[in-house]
Amino acid sequence: MRFGHSPATLDTTLDAVPGAAPAQWPRRPAGIAYGGDYNPEQWPEEVWAEDVALMREAGVNLVSVGIFAWAMVEPEEGRYTFDWLDRLLDLLHAAEIAVDLGTPTAAPPSWFLHRHPHVRPVTRDGQVLGSGGRQSFCPSSPEYAAAAERVTTQLARRYATHPAVVLWHVNNEYGAPVGECYCAVSAAAFRDWLRARYRDLDALNEAWGTTFWSQRYGDWSEIDAPRTAATVVNPAQRLDFARFTSDALLDNYRRERDILHRLAPGIPVTTNFQLANCKALDYWRWATEVDVVSNDHYLQAERADNHVELAMCADLTRSVAAGRPWLLMEHSTSAVNWQARNIAKRPGEMRRNSLAHVARGADAVLFFQWRAGRRGAEKFHSAMLPHGGTGTRIWREVVDLGLDLSALRPLRGTRVSADVAIVWDWAAWWALELEWRPSVDLTYRERIEAYYGQLWRDHLTVDFVHPEGDLGAYPLVVVPSLYLTTPAAAANLRAYVDGGGSVVVSYFSGIVDADDAVYPGAYPGALRDLLGLEVEEFLPLREGERVRLSDGTVGDVWAEDVRLAGATAVATYVDGPAAGGPAITHHRFGAGHAWYVSTRAHGEDLRGVLRNAYAGVGLMPPAGIPDDVEVVRRTGPDASYTVIINHRADAATVAVTGMELLTGEPCPGSVTVPAGGVRVVASSR
């Protein structure tokens, strides 16, 4: 294979690269997809020609169209107006811009809501949500299902063979911002779901522990959705309601997907996920239902380490995609409009963000949105074409990014290989964050991010795994906050360590089963034997309280009264409520190692236990990479591609040999990346 700087050509070729991508990848564009949500219905038609010309100038080769256009394609029930969409798709196709065609079902039109007012979602508190926004539908509503089915059928019939359409985009971010609905229809659907899960009422009473507070059910009809009540509602009921909600939304997706598959065979179907941020959906399940995974990611702009959070979300996206390439369906060129303070991206930041997603497996870089809107709730959201037009820095960076992505075409279809894994589970997240846990300071993502952040700083690439998933590929698996651990997950972790694997487990893991019932005996019931210890009592700390450990670690939020039962103490508590007791432990289990951290340690302090764990399995974090420099490798059959992103304020040099794709310069042993810059080095294998 030959490397060289690709000339600045548009990746708008109509033919796909044979065998370069998985079967379900859209047949076009051939290279890395580039573009965004395009809402031409918000603009007079004269603007469209300018849009398309500028898209060509920027190297845009894929746009998502029609996502919120229900009222424009069906202005009244049963009357369809596709002529504008016909003209638009023809225009895009003539410009060799491929289309990801949305089903418009995330924004039911006003005629529909007016006719079916009870379709609007009801909150836990019983508030019926108003109209005038979007996503105002109850996931269990038969009227909504019928209307969504009709409009999807019409779209599929009309555009199944349109040459511009390469991908279907069903709905939009199911579960966000509203996932759960507590209306009477939802409550009835919940009961049906429960009947299917438990079959008989005794099994449900047992699973939910309904002898507590006299909650026993004598008939299915007595069961309600877990609305806000006088006090805390049965946690197992709430956990099942979370599962039900994810499934109810999934049924909506499946209904549309099946129509599209039947009427438009051969065109892959996706729906945009919001991984790591949307709590409502169990994306491990959802990912098996899409032809290709796509994700939306927005920086938590005020965070100084928001690029680490970005990396985590990208790794999670690749992981639910089972390692296959995925589409970054949305991110922003600069500020969003919906955070408390919408911090603008500074020069070069958009490029770093976009290429960080590519580094971690994205073969598409798309934005919300193409042209900044003048009206409506999102008018202060950045876009590829800002209000200020083509004379702006953002526009220039958008054009430059198009050139970069064109040069990165060889990365398309290549895979990222990870060094370690972190266990991630939506059910554990749901369960951990229900009410009346030992401390309000326990949150699911916090521990995941703490460990992920330290692995990132150690320059290790992370895959996320389902707790019952295959762990065999990883020398080390980190298990943060796995409060809910099923017997199958516990057996999986045990077998993995027994066979020579290594785990680092954080406090408050292995506590309850799938019904939120505490495992019998001392904590952590599911992982006691694996960790070789018992936790006699949780010792949550007061706000601001800190504990010191014998190895210099400082913890907050949490301590435990740990009794060793086979494990040895690596560090003990020097002060605080567990003074003198074990704090960090190590247990040889079969051929492997199990480490346990019983307090909330931060950043550098986690480095100690992780370094021990690395050493135990001979894992060497890469040396010679400066702090705040991100290095990720994608590998193809003939070459590997090292993406180096410099988050520092000064230049950084990294050892690598090959050809740099963005500058076209050879790298005979190392590459120097300017402050805030990115380099991608192709090396023959």
Interface residues with ligand GAL (CB under 6 A)? Answer: 172-173, 296, 298, 330, 336, 368, 378, 381
- Cα gap 259→248, rounded to integer Å: 17
Can you give the length of the chain in residues? Answer: 685
- Pick the closest to residue 398 from 341, 345, 338, 325 (CA basis): 345
Residue 173: active-site member:
yes
Residue with smaller CB distance to ligand GAL, 368 or 558: 368
Taking the CB of residue 80, how many other CB atoms lie within 10 A of it?
16
Residue with smaller CB distance to ligand GAL, 332 or 481: 332
Report which residue's Cβ sits closest to ligand GAL. 368
The residue with tokens 């497996």 is 361
Residue with smaller CB distance to ligand GAL, 172 or 486: 172
**Coil, strand or helix at 666:** strand
- Cα gap 590→614, rounded to integer Å: 18
Q: How far is the CB of 135 from ligand GAL (least distance, A)?
A: 10
Residue with smaller CB distance to ligand GAL, 336 or 631: 336
Residue with smaller CB distance to ligand GAL, 173 or 534: 173
- The answer to whether the peptide bond before residue 520 is cis (omega within 30 degrees of 0) is no
CB 368 within 8 A of CB 330: yes
Select which of 330, 534, 630, 660 is catalytic: 330
> What single-letter DSSP state applies at residue 40?
G
Residue with smaller CB distance to ligand GAL, 339 or 568: 339
Q: How far is the CB of 42 from ligand GAL (least distance, A)?
A: 12
Going by C-beta distance under 8 Å and a sequence separation of 6 or more, which residues neighbour residue 542?
none
- Cα gap 59→51, rounded to integer Å: 12
Report phi then psi at 315, rounded to 5.
-65, -40
Residue with smaller CB distance to ligand GAL, 330 or 404: 330
> What single-letter DSSP state applies at residue 383?
-
Beta bridge partners of 453: none
Element holding 615 (H helix, E strand): helix 603-617
Pure H helices in 175-287: 184-198, 201-208, 235-263, 283-287
Q: How far is the CB of 189 from ligand GAL (least distance, A)?
A: 25
Number of H helices, E strands in the chain: 17, 27
b/e 239-260 (16+ beta carbons within 10 angstroms → b): bbbbbbbbbbbbebbbbbbebb
Residue 74: active-site member:
no
- Cα gap 511→57, rounded to integer Å: 56
CB 653 within 8 A of CB 681: no
Residue with smaller CB distance to ligand GAL, 301 or 625: 301
Residue with smaller CB distance to ligand GAL, 313 or 512: 313
Q: How far is the CB of 367 from ligand GAL (least distance, A)?
A: 10
Strands 533-540 and 558-564, sheet pairing: antiparallel
Select which of 74, 96, 173, 349 is catalytic: 173
- Cα gap 516→235, rounded to integer Å: 7
CB 195 within 8 A of CB 189: no
Q: HEC states along 542-593? A: CCCCEEEECCCCEEECEEEEEEECCCEEEEEECCCCCCCCEEEEEEEECCEE
Report phi then psi at 233, rounded to 5.
-85, 150
Q: How far is the CB of 338 from ligand GAL (least distance, A)?
A: 6
- Cα gap 667→682, rounded to integer Å: 9
> What single-letter DSSP state applies at residue 218?
S
Q: Is residue 299 exposed (0-12), middle (13-18) or buried (19+ Cβ within 10 Å)?
A: buried
Residue with smaller CB distance to ligand GAL, 322 or 344: 344
- Cα gap 170→289, rounded to integer Å: 12
CB 9 within 8 A of CB 29: no
**Coil, strand or helix at 664:** coil
Q: What is the widest separation between alpha-carbon atoms in the chain?
A: 76
Q: How far is the CB of 399 from ligand GAL (least distance, A)?
A: 22
Q: How far is the CB of 336 from ligand GAL (least distance, A)?
A: 4
Residue with smaller CB distance to ligand GAL, 102 or 658: 102
Q: Which active-site residues does the annotation give?
A: 173, 330
